[in-house]
Amino acid sequence: MDDESRIVELELRYMQQQELLQELSGVLYEQRRELDSLRAELELLKKKLADEPGLVDARQQERPPHY
């Protein structure tokens, strides 16, 4: 393999890696947005539960007396 073909091969590999890096960056960005959204939703649910303690009643988990 001569020097020119080696350089071309390296350039092609570099371009492929750049494309892959951009794709991974996009995936990471989308995952971060989804994680932020889920965290916000979780905080909203926590606040709702704290404001209305009657929403979750431990007695609902108990068996009726006839069991």
Share of the chain above pLDDT 70, in %: 84
Amino acid code (one letter) for 31: Q
Q: Is the pLDDT of residue 63 over 90?
A: no
DSSP 60: G
29-39 pLDDT per residue, tens? 999 999 999 99
Q: Tell me the pLDDT band of 22, cut-offs 50, 70 and 90.
A: very high
Q: Are 58 and 65 in contact (CB under 8 A)?
A: no
Percent of the chain exceeding pLDDT 90 equals 70
User: What pLDDT digit, counting tens, does each position of 44-58 carry?
Assistant: 999 999 888 777 665
**Any residues with CB less than 8 A from the CB of 23 and at least 6 apart, and which?**
none
pTM of the model: 0.63
